[in-house]
Amino acid sequence: MITVRPASERGAANFGWLDSRHTFSFGSYYDPRHMGFASLRVINEDKVTPSAGFGTHGHRDMEIITYVLDGALEHKDSLGTGSVIRPGDVQRMSAGTGIRHSEYNASDREPVHFLQIWLMPEAEGIDPGYEQISIAPADKRGQLRLVGSRDGRDGSVTIHQDVSLYATTLGAGDAVEHALAPGRVAWVQVARGAVQLNGHDLTAGDGAAVSDLDTLRLTGANDGAEVLVFDMAA
């Protein structure tokens, strides 16, 4: 079964410096029908104006993935970590027992466009931690590249939850398949462009919950599609 979550029906918040779209309930947007899916709790698509951003704030017991589409996002946290996240980078921050961090557009000229993703951890009270990798464009083109996993295999970031996160970029007519094992579900999030998911048309910002299927098939409907696939325990 595939249930599409259209981009146009997401929650929205616009503060001038921040334009955000919420796939699931977040902040002032609340919809009891959309509280998350499996261990996935938040997918926010954020656009931040030059030099603006989120001041220092705290999190606990959450696995936070940042995936930049355009621009550069500067990150600083209470662990002493500082980095700039750019397209092709994947950052994982485990909030665990508590962490404080800030996120700012690293440019004073260009906006930054990114996805911030929260997953519920498999255990509370873990040590806070941070990890960042960079994926070459060729490694995602026309194939599903593992970028996050429970065991950090194949050079992916380690996520403290039973989830495998894949990224792909597809040209028109390019196709990839992913097998879902029994007891597994998936969430497909289109970051940009347009694709078909097992015959369902999806465009940028659309998501889809997938259950009781053996195989996902993604086909690019135009050049430059970019998609994230979360394979999770049901």
**pTM for this model (two decimals):** 0.96
pLDDT tens, residue by residue, 112-131: 999 999 999 999 999 999 99
pLDDT tens, residue by residue, 58-111: 889 999 999 999 999 998 878 777 889 999 999 999 999 998 888 999 999 999
Burial class of 158 by CB neighbour count within 10 A (0 to 12, 13 to 18, 19+)? middle
pLDDT at 54: 87
Q: For residue 46, count other CB atoms closer than 10 A to its CB.
A: 22
Cβ contact 10:24 at 8 Å: no
Among 147, 57, 67, residue whose Cα is nearest residue 95: 57
pLDDT at 138 over 90: yes
Domains of the chain: 2-233 (2.60.120.10)
pLDDT at 102: 86
Q: What is the spatial distance between Cα 234 and Cα 232, in angstroms, rounded to a whole number?
A: 6
Our CA dihedral for 85, 87, 92, 95, rounded to 10 degrees, sits at 50
Q: What is the spatial distance between Cα 19 and Cα 109, in angstroms, rounded to a whole number?
A: 17
